[in-house]
Amino acid sequence: MPPRPSSAIRALSANRFASTSTIPSSSIPIISSATASTSSIPLSITSSSSSELTNVNRIYTTRKTFLWNYYTHLIERSNLIIIFEHSNLTSSEWSKIRNSIKSIPLPNKPFDFNSKNPELIEKANLNVIRTGVLNSLLFKKQSPLILSKENENIIKGQRALLTCKNLSPIYLKQILNKINISLKSLKRDLNSNSNENEKKQPNLKIISILLEGKKILNNEIELNEFLKNTPELDLLRGQLIGILQSPTRQLNGILNQAAGGQLVRTLKGLENDLKGENSKGDEKSN
């Protein structure tokens, strides 16, 4: 059995991981090395009791423990989760894509009666993920994100995770536009045939989307259709209020007509008819 990596190698791995992740360290509890060395994380769910016992007794490294906690933090609080397949992207190119996402102006949160002033939504995070850790976490939580439409495991290979606490169609459209623009700017001019050139280009492909922990979209086409037909929450609320108020407005208009001009015109017509009948009666009497 090979020896365990030294603390220097672990520190080097942690530094390399930091270059491919955007982790808000202030919002995640960091487990100490003493705690992490004795922590037990069920990284897989199996039907065999012996394998479960092995997982319970297994000791995980500090980094895997941290990743488990961080992925749990992202999955539990995000109403928007997008899984990307990535290829041919360097650390600096990842940074460029993240910076382009950070430059997007944040829209306001949906109106809240308990909030005095309008608040901005939280920024989206884009992280390169360890598929083994995320795969086990999603299995444990029985997330619908774990399987594709063909019931194949999609959390394998090179994957990236885009998460956002708030689901804003306008903000999501801007994120996708920024990613596409960044990828075009990173396109490499390689002296080779077209097929090989295409394989070596930086790429981010949408594999699956999870909305509000329930609704699954299986590709970018379904996502674009959702964005096309879904307005912001405040606009939906306004449309709903308009629908609910429409019968009331119609009834109010009818009552106003009956109580106002139409009733006056009806009475005047009756008055004129009575005057005409009275004048005819006077003529006959004379």
What pLDDT was estimated at residue 273?
A: 80
- Angstrom CA distances, 172 to 143, 160, 162, 177, stand at 22, 16, 10, 9
**270 in the same domain as 197:** no
Q: Provide the pLDDT for residue 240.
A: 77
Q: How far apart are CA 174 and CA 51, in angstroms?
A: 45
Report pLDDT for 26. 43
The answer to whether residues 268 and 194 belong to one domain is no
Residue 72 forms part of a structural domain: yes
Whether 125 is in a domain gets the answer yes
Within this chain, do residues 119 and 250 fall inside the same structural domain, yes or no? no
Sheet strands side by side (includes 215-217)? 125-128, 159-164, 80-87, 203-211, 215-217
Dump pLDDT digits (tens) for 226-272.
888 888 776 777 777 777 777 777 777 766 766 666 667 777 778 78
pTM score of the predicted model: 0.64
Based on the domain organization, do 84 and 118 belong to the same domain?
yes
Report whether pLDDT(280) > 70: no
93 and 164 in a single domain? The answer is yes
Is residue 35 located within the same domain as residue 103?
A: yes
**42 and 156 in one domain?**
yes
Question: Could you read off the pLDDT of 156-196 as tens digits, one per residue?
Answer: 899 999 999 988 888 999 999 999 999 999 888 766 666 66
Q: Are residues 124 and 256 in the same domain?
A: no
User: How many other β-carbons are positioned within 10 Å of the β-carbon of residue 135?
Assistant: 19
Inside any domain, residue 82:
yes
Instruction: Give the position of tokens 């964005």.
Output: 227
Final residue belonging to a domain, choices 188, 206, 230:
230
Residues 119 and 44 in one domain: yes
Instruction: For residue 268, give its domain range.
Output: 238-285
Q: Do the Cβ atoms of 96 and 24 come closer than 8 Å? A: no
User: What's the pLDDT band for 59 if we cut at 50, 70, 90?
Assistant: confident
Could you tell me if residue 1 is inside a domain? Answer: no
Looking at residue 34, its pLDDT comes to 39
| Tens digit of each residue's pLDDT (9 = 90 or more) over 217-234 | 988 899 989 888 888 776
**125 contacts 162 by C-beta, under 8 angstroms:** yes
- pLDDT-derived band at 50 (thresholds 50, 70, 90) equals very low
Please calculate the CA angle 224-229-235 and round it to the nearest 5 degrees. 125
Specify the long-range contacts of residues 113-119, CB closer than 8 Å, at least 24 apart: none
Q: How far apart (Å, rounded) are the C-alpha atoms in residues 273 and 267?
A: 10
Domain end among 230, 250, 275: 230
Number of domains in the chain: 2
Q: Please classify residue 71 by burial: count the beta carbons closer than 10 Å to its beta carbon, then call 0-12 exposed, 13-18 middle and 19+ buried.
A: buried
pLDDT score recorded for residue 284: 62
The domain boundary, picked from 212, 230, 248, lies at: 230
Interval 110-143: pLDDT, tens: 766 666 777 788 899 999 999 999 999 988 888 8
Q: What percent of the chain has pLDDT over 90?
A: 30
Average pLDDT, stretch 26-51?
A: 43
Q: Do residues 182 and 257 both lie within one domain?
A: no
Task: Check residue 21 and give its pLDDT.
Answer: 53
In a domain, residue 252? The reply is yes
Do 150 and 132 reside in the same domain of the chain?
A: yes
Q: Is residue 193 part of a domain?
A: yes
Q: Given this model, what pLDDT does residue 1 score?
A: 46
Task: Residue 51: give its domain's CATH number.
Answer: 3.30.70.1730
Summarize pLDDT for 77-94 with one digit per residue, the tens. 999 999 999 999 999 999
Tell me, yes or no, whether 251 and 118 share the same domain.
no
Residue 2 located in a structural domain: no
* Residue 38 vs residue 159, higher pLDDT: 159
Three-state SS annotation for the chain: CCCCCCHHHHHHHHHHHHCCCCCCHHHCCCCCHHHHHHCCCCCCCCCCHHHHHHHHHCCCCHHHHHHHHHHHHHHHHCCEEEEEEEECCCHHHHHHHHHHHHCCCCCECCCCCCCCCCCECCCCEEEECCHHHHHHHHHHCCCHHHECCCCCECCCCCEEEEEECCCCHHHHHHHHHHHHHHHHHCCCCCCCCHHHHHHCCCEEEEEEEEECCCEEECCHHHHHHHHHHCCCHHHHHHHHHHHHHHHHHHHHHHHHHHHCHHHHHHHHHHHHHHHHHHHHHHHHHC
Q: Is residue 142 situated within a structural domain?
A: yes
